[in-house]
Copies of this chain bind each other. A is one copy, B any other.
Amino acid sequence: MVGYAFMGAAHSQAWRTAGRFFDLPVEPDMAVLCGRDGDATRSAAAKLGWRSVETDWKQLLTRDDVQLIDICTPGDTHAEIAIAALDAGKHVLCEKPLANTVDEARAMVAAAERARARGVHSMVGFNYRRVPAIALARQLIAQGRIGEVRHVRGTYLQDWIVDPEFPLVWRLQKDKAGSGALGDIGAHVIDLAQFVTGDRLTGVSALTETFVKQRPLPAASSGLSASGSTERGEVTVDDTALFIGRFGGGAVAGFEATRFATGRKNALRLEVNGSAGSLAFDFEAMNELSFFDGAEDPATAGFRRILVTEPTHPYAGAWWPPGHGLGYEHTFTHEIADLLRDLGTGAEPSPSFADGLQVQLVLDAVARSAEAGSGWQRIEEVND
């Protein structure tokens, strides 16, 4: 695994846990953690449970005890590492967004296709697809329970940079992160909306905004100026992105991603209205799915709060009795379990790098529309 911050901790827990609750064809061996700073990486490896460390990710390519590389670094490094890994015959799990640009993403898809021909597989880490409630929503739509999809309403609301004194971390720098709320969290809600409906956005009209345009440099890289005030730098990404769009199947959609929704901590919300019913989800109550069944008698119809913890619910049967919910980290455990099972059977893991590229194309269309006065931007189709 490359990287050991927030995502690294979540992935480590997933690698350790997946085989304890799911029947997997192989038992993962957490061989090596890779980071640039040797001491910090050694300390993280001990904490997170990795057997050894490397400080240069290229070493992973040659180690025989490494069959899969899990990339948890910022987006600007994804393409280089992933392509090299695939070309070296290592399976790859790459965190989202797949890349910071469409061009990088295309190159990664090409590498994934080359690798696949040799039995080497890849997956992009849209972990929220593995929330049981989201997987159930997809099932219900696929079964026709809400009929023809008319409306998709997606938001991803956070508030962690409302304070203008919050520092200029890498996620606020375009060269590292590619974009702001759009790529970091907008990518998730776009992917979910397309995953749940089984349909894809074909065009968008967008606007973006950066509310706080300068921020203090982080402690590490900043210093006090002669006058004693903190040095500030430019925020080069969006604080929020909003767009309206159309799906291939005829649905209309509205999306919003922001880190300025005071009080909303992780409100990844999705509502889908169909001709025969509706579904609604909010990650802040991740064990629940709201379902309105239009086939019910109006006298007793209403949005049902389904606790998605029954043995028959996706993933839930591997865990605890009904009503005993799961948490954020389980989305990663499910992701690893699905990945390892697919590697065992030779099935193509999903979401693929092509899926990652397609989301990148949506992000790109949003950014282009926002730059061009909100005019409509068509989204290129991706062949899977």
Interface positions of A (Cβ within 8 A of B): 6, 9-10, 12-13, 16-17, 20-21, 47-49, 136, 140, 145-147, 150-151, 153, 155, 157-160, 162, 205-207, 209, 211, 240, 242-244, 246, 250, 252-254, 256, 258, 260-267, 273-278, 283-289, 291-294, 298-307, 309-310, 312-313, 319-330, 373-376
Contact = CB atoms under 8 A, between A and B. Distances in A.
A310 B298 contact: yes
18 contacts: A10-B320, A13-B20, A16-B16, A151-B261, A157-B273, A162-B294, A205-B244, A206-B244, A258-B273, A260-B275, A262-B292, A263-B302, A265-B309, A265-B321, A286-B325, A289-B302, A293-B300, A319-B327
Contacts of A13: 17, 20
A1 to B, nearest CB: 14
Contacts of A267: 323
B325 A307 contact: no
Contacts of A158: 323
Nearest to A140: B300
Contacts of A265: 307, 309, 321-323
A374 B244 contact: yes
Contact of A207 (B252, B302, B313): B252
B320 A328 contact: yes
A261 B273 contact: yes
Contact of A373 (B209, B256, B302, B375): B375
Give this chain's copy count: 4
Contact of A302 (B21, B205, B307): B307
B304 A374 contact: no
A242 B244 contact: yes
B266 A273 contact: no
B242 A252 contact: yes
Contacts of A21: 9
A264 B274 CA distance: 12
Contact of A320 (B16, B329, B373): B329
Contacts of A136: 299
A162 B275 contact: yes
- Of all A-B residue pairs in the complex, the 9 with the closest CB atoms, nearest first, are A266-B323, A265-B323, A263-B292, A302-B304, A327-B327, A205-B374, A302-B306, A324-B328, A265-B322
Most chain B CB inside 10 Å of its own CB: which residue of A250, A285, A304, A373 = A304
